[in-house]
Amino acid sequence: MLVKYTAESGVHFGEILFWRASLTVPMLGLWLAAQGQLSRLRTNRMPAHIRRAVLGMIGMALTFGAPILLPLAESTTLGFTTPIFAVILSALLLRETVGPWRWGAVIAGFLGILVITQPGQSHMPMFGVIVGLSGAFMVAVISIQLRDLGRTDEPIAIVFWFSAWSTAVFALGLPFFIEAHSPKQWLLLLAIGALGCVAQLLLTASLRFGQVASVIVMDYSSLIWATLYGWMIWNRLPPTTTWLGAPLVIGAGALIAWREHRLSRPGTA
């Protein structure tokens, strides 16, 4: 919501990405220094952190770009396809056996997307839909990375190194789009950075202690907030197609999470 509102206030998208990443570095660094715990940032897997940063920057740009291009509730619903993409990735890349339950959920989820987007006659621009679905795909890829990094590194170290590498890359383009801002715009940018840092810490920690599919399914509550913000700030409620398609997408993700939870039990086929 803040990203969409800030972009509409006139702040360049590239600068939003920079401040979203850069504020995390001093926040975490100063907090750890005050606690005498800078050693928690030590890692033996810097190449893995760099790979995570590269994919994370692409994912962040797509995830933040979608609500700018689309209504907030619709862009949020497209993000719910992440578990669907996770199933496809597990079958194609990890060679996992995917049974009829999860393949059925994948089909139901994409039917829900077709209902929402109404190809050829949609109220949503197709480019925005592609950006939203691409962002969900990248979140699925990144979730697997975070799960792997969480085996060896602390959540705070994962978040710090992602932000540090992202800040360095985004700073290269800063001279081309940075400009003066009003006090309100600076407050919005600070809020994006601070809340983004807290949210990323919580997500990374949850992926360390829980299964990817089980954690991602908790994100569905964000549709409530997206609908509420869309109504309060932009005076817009989702159309009928979104109300019809969203349950299919959410149901598909919930079914995938339930099925993977069942399969994770010892002795379950």
Q: Is residue 268 part of a domain?
A: no
Rounded mean pLDDT, 220-245: 88
Range of the domain at 151: 2-263
Ramachandran quadrant class, 36 (left: phi over 0; alpha: psi -120 to 50; beta: rest): left
* CA 230 – CA 72 distance, rounded (Å): 6
> How many domains does the chain contain in total?
1
Q: Is 113 contained in some domain?
A: yes
Q: Quick check: 73 pLDDT over 60?
A: yes
For range 139-143, the mean pLDDT: 87
Average pLDDT over residues 148-159: 87
Give residue 215's pLDDT band: very low, low, confident or very high (50, 70, 90). Answer: low
The structure's pTM equals: 0.82
- Considering the chain, what is the average pLDDT of its residues? 85
For position 210, what pLDDT does the model report? 65
Burial of 230 (0-12, 13-18, 19+ CB in 10 A): buried
Q: Is residue 175 part of a domain?
A: yes
Residue 269 belongs to some domain of the structure:
no
pLDDT of residue 216: 60
d(CA 20, CA 30) in angstroms, rounded, equals: 17
Residue-wise pLDDT for 74-117, tens only, equals: 999 998 888 888 888 877 776 777 778 778 888 888 898 888 88
Task: Please report whether residue 61 resides in a domain.
Answer: yes
What confidence tens digit (pLDDT) does each residue in 173-207 have?
988 888 889 999 999 999 998 998 888 778 767 76
Q: Is residue 29 predicted with pLDDT exceeding 50?
A: yes
* High-pLDDT (> 90) share of the chain, %: 39
The pLDDT of residue 58 is above 90 = yes
